[in-house]
Amino acid sequence: MTSPLKICDNYPLIEKNTLGLPSTARCYAEVNTIAELQSALTFAREKRLPVIPLGGGSNVVLGDFLNALVVHVNLKGRTVLSRDQDCVRVRAEAGENWHEFVLWSLSNEAYGLENLSLIPGAVGAAPIQNIGAYGVELKDSFVSLEAMNLESGLVEYFDRQNCGFGYRDSVFKREKRDQYIIVSVTLDLDATLKPNLGYGQLGDLVARRLGGRAPSAVDISQAVCDIRREKLPDPSEVGNAGSFFKNPEVSSSEMDRLKQAYPDIVAYPVGQNWKLAAGWLIDQSGLKGMREGAVGTYQYQALVLVNHGGATGQDVLSFSSMIQQKVNDKFGVLLEREPRVYMESPQAGLRS
């Protein structure tokens, strides 16, 4: 007989989010099976509580008190489903650590995720954000996912088209928001390595290290890890949520205006538009390494907001709003936050 699901009241979340923000959940449950997740959702419906899923806690800003059931998704498992000369199909449960899953895939001679090494968080969050780095996005290898409907408790299937992937975006951040908890992800990876070294810094680093030797997937993964460690602070040492803002996209006419005013602006073409480097915009606004109270921008990467100790979720939001205003004042470009925001006020309730 299985033991009943444990629900904790007034549970502290400071150790459950990489920004290290002090937050308390009215109710909290860790779920290790589909049945436990269904039990948690039944509890939330009975208590009329909203549900907040939490994986690695690496892409959230939490308020002081969440009047909700916070569900830590701890579903585990990694499987090679099939293999032929071209493709290796793999499946991972939502609670698996993303970086460990990448390393596991490489050890199983399944390639394509090496550029996504060391991205913090859990597998279940990867499709929500359509995570990407160094010229690769999750959608490039995505086949499908399974997600539990919060209302019915039933597990539903989503293929790539159903997910509506965009730049750091999916239907789970838009029309399907707050309606599902992802429980597993299936990917098609390459049976032979096809190095993607188009991102300048990555290609240069690999070339310097290896000379004329062709890189292995592990070589590429290690180079990505080293670049990320050089640019991004370790959350165990300095609270942060990684890149805090999306790289904004502007039209060609808007790009012409910016280029005329700022000839050295960092940007690259995306179809008919241009993607701007948000970190460069923040840096050029004089905000790199800036600090207000306990919150600041990271001294080596302006795109990262850090908690120097004692910051609250509201502190982080206020600081990020100041950055948005300064960048907009200087460049006429509005930055969009990447992390999901969970705050509560008597008027608004949970919002983001």
Query: Do residues 283 and 231 make contact, with C-beta atoms less than 8 angstroms apart?
Result: no
Q: Does 213 qualify as catalytic in the annotation?
A: no
Q: Catalytic one among 96, 114, 137, 338?
A: 338
Residue 351 designated active-site: no
In degrees and rounded to multiples of 5, residue 121 shows phi and psi of: 115, -175
C-alpha to C-alpha distance for 55 and 52, rounded to whole angstroms: 10
Is the Cα torsion angle 322, 324, 327, 332 positive or negative in sign? negative
Q: What is the SS3 assignment for 74?
A: coil
Which of 26, 91, 168, 340 does the annotation list as catalytic?
168
Which uninterrupted H or E stretch holds 57? none
In 250-269, which positions are buried (b, 16+ CB within 10 angstroms) versus exposed (e)? Answer: beeebbeebeeeeeebebee
Distance CA(183)–CA(128), nearest Å, equals 12
Residue 338: active-site member: yes
Out of 39, 243, 285, 320, which one is annotated catalytic?
243
Query: Which of the residues are catalytic?
Result: 168, 243, 338
